[in-house]
Structure 1
Amino acid sequence: MQGLKQSIITSLWFMFLTFPIMVVRVNTIENTVEWRWMNLAYVGVGIFILSFVWRWALARKEAKQYETETTDKPKKQLWLSRAMEEPAVAKPALAAIFALSVAMPFLVSTYQTNIFISFLLYVILGLGLNIIVGVAGLLFLGHAAFYAIGAYSYALLNHYFGIGFWVALPLGGILACLGGILLAFPVLRLRGDYLAIVTLGFGEIIRLVLENWSDLTGGPSGISNIDRPGLFGMELSVADANVYIYYIVLALAIITMIAVQRLKNSRIGRALQALREDEIACQAMGIDRVNVKVMAFGLGTAWAGFAGVIFAAKTTFINPASFTFMESAIILSIVVLGGMGSNLGVILGSAFLVLMPEYLRAFSEYRMILFAAAMVLMMVFRPQGLIAPKGRKYHVDDPDLIKEGDA
């Protein structure tokens, strides 16, 4: 009853605030005033429904949280996360997704293939950033800078020295990794907002250097006529080249998923997660904080370099406008929306922020409103992301190893 009363008050308050805009309309040609009372009714009913649903959802969330805290019941996982933990479901599902991914270029148009290439590139970028933000817990806002390092590495090497794609691909990743390591040393003592500001500044420095060093990078005009990947010397049409690049980025995305998952379960991954949970306790237990942070920056930025090389090969033209802060914000949003530390969450986040805008062009005028509303709802009702990361469990098979009093 209290929620109903508050929703009515909220509705009346919004009707009062929007009255001059929604109801009163001055016709300057005929010098008359039109009174649009139906608009006021729409505002009142709409705000009442939204407010009531919002309060109901908040009350339901608080009740579930209270039940979990008082009864010590584990939090319920999203049905997709629970399903992927069942081998009987996960293996056939992964096999079907892989088969569909392989057949995708033959089922859709060239334009659609380009969209899926962009989607897979953002998956790679998100998984790389997930190492830094999700696994190591370091707030990083300059990922687009290393994306640019990889892209310009291939563009410059190809433009000035004629180096091909397959030689430039590992070089782009290595150069981006070295850039991440160089950035890591000055920021070893920083954390939280201060680390975010420094990485944001580094991203802007890279963009400005690319924009103003016209003799080398072409400045705002960028670099064009970048060679596409070669296939045993064969001449490929634009459509065939797109299919070829699709399979390259698909293979790299699969390798990235496997590598990041293996990293999380390795000794280095456990050290990164310890750093995320408590940096002081991590150092007190003998983990070298400097080496762990440097590894996190180097490993995370290397994948951005690989993605940058493929991006340059796909578009055959790059300029600094492709690597603005908005790119870093989108990649970070993918990680946060999907679930920090979750590989499946990064894939879902990429689908939401990359694929959905392309398939909702009919609502292009309202896309940003829908995205903003979705982000607000996620932060309020599911702050852990779409797929919350699940800690790894270790079992001791030999009962003699368990000492008395350790339970």
Structure 2
Amino acid sequence: MIQEFKKVWKNYTIGMLWLLGVLWPLLGIHPDGTITFQKTVSVWLYILAGTFVCLILYVINTSGNLKPVTTPVAGAARKIGSMIEVMPSWIWISALLICAFIYPLVTGRYATDVAITVLFYICLGLGLNVVVGLAGMLDLGYIAFYGVGAYTYALLNVNFGLGFWVCLPVSGFLACIAGCIVGYPTLRMRGDYLAIVTLGFGEIIRIILNNWMELTNGPNGILGVKTIGILMPFFENGMTLETLWVKKLQWFYYFVLGLAIVAIIAVRRLNYSRVGRAWESIREDETAAELMGVNTFNYKLLAYAMGAIFAGLAGAFFAARMKFVSPESFTFLESAMVLCMVVLGGMGSIPGIILGVVALIALPEAFREFESYRMLVFGATMIIMMLFRPAGLIPAKRVGKRSEDKE
């Protein structure tokens, strides 16, 4: 045990001193110019105590002294895992759907609003998963197609009076066209060059939305966007059709839930289709896929277009929900956030992406009282995940095994 502790104490000490140096500017320097040390030291001591306990447990476990405890726990975990695998998947899916449907009935307005945001980002994360997780292309300008879908519905509704259900497929189609236009000159590149070019095109679209005053009203945005309308029959003095505008959060929750379910089904079907196999071959080795007869450029362009469709549909729902759109909602930070959800959850894994969205959207809301530390915890969580679970929370299961996997 002492030998194991000697191996890690130096790195642990350097890490805690580095954390103290990071915490002090955040907590010790105040807006009025005063400098204090008490709050920084107290917070750092709490973190030091917690991490030191974790370090001691790690050292004891590494030295083998925790085997009397860890062995029965690991055996029980394996038994529970085998029991879960035996149960049919439709039971778990049915239970999740029932919980999702009754969620707004047993929670308040704030919790329902957070759930709507989570469902929005699930749609965006699944769309980006097609590009990054399945096809293996790093896209840093994905949120631009989200903006194209939102502005399409806002412009058609405000200027031409078209309803939501008419504009929804149009938003997805125009986002797909934008994806093809952006993807055609960029997808011949690979790796870091592709990421830089997609970042540039994403910023170009945002700047166009911000500067085209005649069409988008520039940074002022577009006001007066109508929410979702439903034609309902009324039988007073004969049958008439009237538009019922959705105003309650519960109804909007169910609409976004339906969009998320459609996105999950569509991405799963794409993943296990012939097209999905082609995308995965491109992700694993583009040169080998091309030599085997896969038209890599066409399949990459298809992946880019399919991801843009999901973003466009989510953008139309976003515009209907907020009743206002502006370029500030579609910045690079949003693209980076969606990419973090995909990477944190597990690229190519639908359950992983859902869990990643919940971790990055719902958990910060649950710990809103620690607002000063949320971004610090967020960065530390991402670092820990990349060190200990680089494949994500729920990695995607590869079809078949390679020789290096068996080794």
TM-score by length of 1: 0.81
After superposition, the Cα gap between the structure-2 partners of 1:60 and 1:135, relative to the gap in structure 1 and judged at 3 Å, is: farther
Displacement of 1:248 in angstroms is 1.4
Query: Residues 99-248 of structure 1 correspond to what in structure 2 (within 5 A)?
Result: 99-232=98-231, 233-236=242-245, 238-239=247-248, 242-248=249-255
Query: Residues 337-376 of structure 1 correspond to what in structure 2 (within 5 A)?
Result: 337-376=344-383
Out of 389, 392, 395, which is 1:388 matched to? 395
Displacement of 1:110 in angstroms is 2.6
- Residue 252 of structure 2 aligns with an amino acid whose one-letter code is I
How far, CA to CA, are the matches of 1:378 and 1:123 in structure 2? Answer: 20
After superposition, the Cα gap between the structure-2 partners of 1:141 and 1:14, relative to the gap in structure 1 and judged at 3 Å, is: closer
Deviation larger for 51-60 or 124-133: 51-60
Identity value in percent: 43
After superposition, the Cα gap between the structure-2 partners of 1:220 and 1:57, relative to the gap in structure 1 and judged at 3 Å, is: farther
2:280 paired with 1:281: no
2:13 paired with 1:4: no
TM-score by length of 2: 0.81
How far, CA to CA, are the matches of 1:355 and 1:224 in structure 2? Answer: 28
Displacement of 1:187 in angstroms is 1.3
Deviation larger for 211-220 or 146-155: 211-220
* Map of 2:325 onto structure 1: 318
How far, CA to CA, are the matches of 2:17 and 2:306 in structure 1? Answer: 53
How far, CA to CA, are the matches of 1:145 and 1:16 in structure 2? Answer: 37
Displacement of 1:180 in angstroms is 0.9
How far, CA to CA, are the matches of 1:18 and 1:118 in structure 2? Answer: 34
SS of corresponding position for 2:222: coil
- Residue 177 of structure 2 aligns with an amino acid whose one-letter code is L
After superposition, the Cα gap between the structure-2 partners of 1:90 and 1:321, relative to the gap in structure 1 and judged at 3 Å, is: same
How far, CA to CA, are the matches of 1:151 and 1:377 in structure 2? Answer: 35
Deviation per CA, 1:320-363, whole angstroms, max 9, x where unpaired?
Answer: 00111111011000000000000000000010011111111111
* Map of 1:253 onto structure 2: 260
- Residue 293 of structure 2 aligns with an amino acid whose one-letter code is G
Deviation larger for 161-170 or 106-115: 106-115
After superposition, the Cα gap between the structure-2 partners of 1:87 and 1:264, relative to the gap in structure 1 and judged at 3 Å, is: farther
Deviation larger for 90-99 or 135-144: 90-99
Query: Residues 391-406 of structure 1 correspond to what in structure 2 (within 5 A)?
Result: 391-393=398-400
Contact (CA 8 Å) 1:220, 1:320: kept in 2 or not?
yes
Displacement of 1:13 in angstroms is 9.3
* Map of 2:51 onto structure 1: 50
- Residue 369 of structure 1 aligns with an amino acid whose one-letter code is L
After superposition, the Cα gap between the structure-2 partners of 1:58 and 1:310, relative to the gap in structure 1 and judged at 3 Å, is: farther
Gaps of 5+ in 2: 29-35, 65-74, 232-241, 402-407
- Residue 360 of structure 2 aligns with an amino acid whose one-letter code is L
After superposition, the Cα gap between the structure-2 partners of 1:261 and 1:157, relative to the gap in structure 1 and judged at 3 Å, is: same
Displacement of 1:104 in angstroms is 1.9
How far, CA to CA, are the matches of 1:17 and 1:244 in structure 2? Answer: 45
Displacement of 1:50 in angstroms is 3.1
After superposition, the Cα gap between the structure-2 partners of 1:267 and 1:60, relative to the gap in structure 1 and judged at 3 Å, is: farther
* Map of 1:401 onto structure 2: none
How far, CA to CA, are the matches of 1:377 and 1:248 in structure 2? Answer: 36
How far, CA to CA, are the matches of 1:212 and 1:35 in structure 2? Answer: 46
Contact (CA 8 Å) 2:352, 2:395: kept in 1 or not?
yes
2:90 paired with 1:91: yes
Displacement of 1:246 in angstroms is 1.4
After superposition, the Cα gap between the structure-2 partners of 1:84 and 1:374, relative to the gap in structure 1 and judged at 3 Å, is: farther
* Map of 2:316 onto structure 1: 309
How far, CA to CA, are the matches of 1:346 and 1:17 in structure 2? Answer: 29
SS of corresponding position for 1:238: coil
How far, CA to CA, are the matches of 1:52 and 1:197 in structure 2? Answer: 42
* Map of 1:378 onto structure 2: 385
After superposition, the Cα gap between the structure-2 partners of 1:15 and 1:42, relative to the gap in structure 1 and judged at 3 Å, is: farther
How far, CA to CA, are the matches of 1:181 and 1:317 in structure 2? Answer: 27
SS of corresponding position for 1:231: strand
- Residue 265 of structure 1 aligns with an amino acid whose one-letter code is Y
- Residue 397 of structure 2 aligns with an amino acid whose one-letter code is K
Q: Root-mean-square deviation (CA), in Å?
A: 3.4
- Residue 213 of structure 1 aligns with an amino acid whose one-letter code is W
Contact (CA 8 Å) 2:227, 2:246: kept in 1 or not?
no
- Residue 345 of structure 1 aligns with an amino acid whose one-letter code is G
* Map of 2:31 onto structure 1: none
How far, CA to CA, are the matches of 2:350 and 2:92 in structure 1? Answer: 16
- Residue 243 of structure 1 aligns with an amino acid whose one-letter code is Q
Deviation larger for 158-167 or 108-117: 108-117
How far, CA to CA, are the matches of 2:59 and 2:184 in structure 1? Answer: 43
Displacement of 1:243 in angstroms is 2.3
After superposition, the Cα gap between the structure-2 partners of 1:9 and 1:180, relative to the gap in structure 1 and judged at 3 Å, is: closer
After superposition, the Cα gap between the structure-2 partners of 1:60 and 1:284, relative to the gap in structure 1 and judged at 3 Å, is: farther
Displacement of 1:188 in angstroms is 2.5
How far, CA to CA, are the matches of 2:168 and 2:83 in structure 1? Answer: 32
- Residue 166 of structure 1 aligns with an amino acid whose one-letter code is W
